[in-house]
């Protein structure tokens, strides 16, 4: 029941977004813990990187290439051309060409052509070859994922916190000793 309500909740919003989308725009589709990315190619169609279900129990799986979607595990991906509504399902979408601020996008027809040329099975890596990397590559000619970058900052900050805390405490301790020494020197000079 909640899924149907969510789909109806976003229906009007999503229709409005898709009506304004232009060929070559990047669509960011909000999922629960991440965003899925697709290249809008016109006529309510997108090209996107999607998982291929795989026999994960085999011994030849490289764990760095495994990812999950809705609990199913994958280590390969397929670039697909699909109706935008089949990709959105019950998620909210927005046009996200924010990287235009830092990168020059290709011409819309070149973006669409690049996306369509990539259709087929490819490898997948969460950190270097995910759906956002794919979409950015089609639009700008470079692989770039803000989600991965932000995750790296978050993880780096988390792991660095003990070191930052120790460094900050050490610095405070040193300054406290320096100030205490200066206070002693002032007291002696007064006597």
The mean of the pLDDT values for the chain is 76
The reply to whether 177 and 159 lie within a common domain is: yes
Give the pLDDT score at 64. Answer: 41
pTM value?
0.67
| Cα 141 off chain centre by | 17
Residue from 48, 65, 133, 138 carrying the catalytic annotation? 48
Give the pLDDT score at 174. Answer: 55
Residue from 65, 131, 133, 138 carrying the catalytic annotation? 131
The reply to whether 152 and 133 lie within a common domain is: no
The reply to whether 153 and 123 lie within a common domain is: no
149 within 8 A of 157, measured Cβ to Cβ: no
- Note if 70 is an active site residue: no
Give the pLDDT score at 90. Answer: 86
The reply to whether 80 and 113 lie within a common domain is: yes
* Dist. CA 152–CA 98, nearest whole Å: 19
Residue from 36, 65, 133, 138 carrying the catalytic annotation? 36
Q: What percent of the chain has pLDDT over 70?
A: 58
- Note if 36 is an active site residue: yes
The reply to whether 14 and 53 lie within a common domain is: yes
Q: 41: pLDDT confidence band, cut at 50, 70 and 90?
A: very high
The reply to whether 125 and 156 lie within a common domain is: no
| pLDDT of 84 higher than 90 | yes
* Dist. CA 73–CA 56, nearest whole Å: 7
The reply to whether 86 and 165 lie within a common domain is: no
| pLDDT of 159 higher than 60 | no
The reply to whether 63 and 154 lie within a common domain is: no
The reply to whether 60 and 139 lie within a common domain is: yes
Give the pLDDT score at 172. Answer: 52
Domain interval for residue 186: 146-191
What tokens does 191 get? 């006597």
What would the mean pLDDT of 153-176 be, rounded to a whole number?
49
Q: 33: pLDDT confidence band, cut at 50, 70 and 90?
A: confident
* Dist. CA 11–CA 142, nearest whole Å: 32
Q: 129: pLDDT confidence band, cut at 50, 70 and 90?
A: confident
Q: 65: pLDDT confidence band, cut at 50, 70 and 90?
A: very low
Q: Which residues are registered as beta bridge partners of 92?
A: 30
Neighbours of 3 (CB within 10 A): 9
- Least confident segment among 66-75, 104-113, 141-150, 155-164: 155-164
What tokens does 46 get? 């997108």
The reply to whether 103 and 81 lie within a common domain is: yes
| pLDDT of 85 higher than 80 | yes
The reply to whether 127 and 179 lie within a common domain is: no
The reply to whether 153 and 139 lie within a common domain is: no
Q: How far is CA 93 from each of CA 16, 85, 116, 130, rounded to the nearest angstrom?
A: 10, 10, 21, 18
| pLDDT of 59 higher than 80 | no
* Total number of domains constituting the chain: 2
> How many CA atoms within 13 Å lie on the side-chain side of 114?
22
CA nearest to 133, candidates 30, 124, 68: 124
Give the dihedral sign, CA 20/143/98/127: positive
* Dist. CA 111–CA 103, nearest whole Å: 14
Domain at 98, CATH number = 3.90.1720.10
- Note if 65 is an active site residue: no
């Amino acid at each position: 029941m909640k899924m149907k309500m969510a789909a109806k909740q976003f229906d009007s919003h999503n229709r409005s977004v898709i009506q304004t989308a232009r060929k070559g725009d990047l669509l960011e589709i909000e999922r629960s813990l991440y965003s899925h990315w697709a290249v809008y190619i016109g006529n309510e169609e997108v090209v996107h990187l999607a998982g291929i279900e795989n026999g994960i129990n085999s011994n030849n799986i490289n764990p760095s290439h495994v990812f999950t979607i809705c609990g199913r595990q994958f280590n390969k991906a397929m670039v697909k051309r699909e109706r935008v509504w089949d990709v959105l399902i019950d998620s909210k979408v927005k046009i996200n060409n924010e990287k235009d601020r830092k990168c020059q996008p290709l011409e819309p027809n070149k973006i669409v052509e690049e996306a369509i040329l990539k259709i087929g099975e490819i490898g997948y890596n969460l950190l270097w070859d995910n759906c956002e990397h794919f979409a950015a590559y089609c639009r700008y000619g470079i692989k770039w994922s803000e989600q991965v970058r932000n995750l790296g900052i978050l993880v780096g900050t988390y792991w660095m916190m003990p070191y930052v805390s120790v460094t900050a405490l050490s610095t405070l301790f040193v300054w406290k000793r320096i100030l205490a020494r200066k206070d002693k020197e002032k007291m002696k000079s007064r006597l």
